Amino acid sequence: MVAVLLGGCGSPTALLRGSGVYDAYAITVDHRPLWTMTTDKRIKLSIQSRLAQMDASDLYYIGVESFYGTVYLIGEYEDLAHKERIVDVARTTSGVREVVEYFHPKSAQEECTLYRNLALLADVKSRLFQDKHIYGSNIHVHAVQCHIVLAGMVESAWEQERAEWIAHHTPGVRSAVSYLRAFVQDR
- Segment 98-124 shows an average pLDDT of 90
Q: pLDDT digits over 1-16, tens only?
A: 444 334 443 344 443 4
Both 12 and 98 in a single domain?
Answer: yes
Q: Which residues, in sequence order, are CB contacts of 7 under 8 Å at separation 6+? A: 19, 20
Range of weakest confidence among 17-26, 77-86, 105-114: 17-26
Average pLDDT, the chain: 83
Q: Residue 107, class by beta-carbon neighbours within 10 Å (0-12 exposed, 13-18 middle, 19+ buried)?
A: exposed
The SS3 call for residue 20 is: coil
Q: Report whether pLDDT(109) > 90.
A: no
Helix (H) or strand (E) segment spanning residue 139: strand 139-144
> Quick one: pLDDT at residue 1?
40
Q: How many domains does the chain have?
A: 2
Q: Is the pTM of this model over 0.85?
A: no
Domain boundary, last residue among 62, 78, 105 = 105
| 140 residue type, one letter | H
Both 148 and 64 in a single domain?
Answer: no
- Segment 170-186 shows an average pLDDT of 89
Distance from C-alpha of 77 to C-alpha of 75, rounded to nearest angstrom: 7
Domain boundary, last residue among 105, 132, 150 = 105
Both 10 and 65 in a single domain?
Answer: yes
Both 73 and 56 in a single domain?
Answer: yes
> Quick one: pLDDT at residue 9?
37
Both 80 and 119 in a single domain?
Answer: no
- Segment 31-54 shows an average pLDDT of 91
Q: Say how many CA atoms lie within 13 Å of 115 toward its Cβ.
A: 0
- Indicate if the alpha-carbon torsion angle 62, 23, 15, 11 is positive or negative: negative
Both 93 and 120 in a single domain?
Answer: no
Domain boundary, last residue among 81, 105, 129 = 105
Range of weakest confidence among 61-70, 93-102, 136-145: 136-145
> Quick one: pLDDT at residue 17?
42
Q: Report whether pLDDT(149) > 70.
A: yes
Note down the domain range covering 169. Answer: 114-184
- Say what percent of the chain tops pLDDT 90: 59
> Quick one: pLDDT at residue 59?
67
Both 47 and 73 in a single domain?
Answer: yes
Residue 72, domain CATH: 3.30.1340.30
Both 97 and 130 in a single domain?
Answer: no
Both 32 and 79 in a single domain?
Answer: yes
Both 77 and 124 in a single domain?
Answer: no
Both 154 and 100 in a single domain?
Answer: no
Both 64 and 39 in a single domain?
Answer: yes
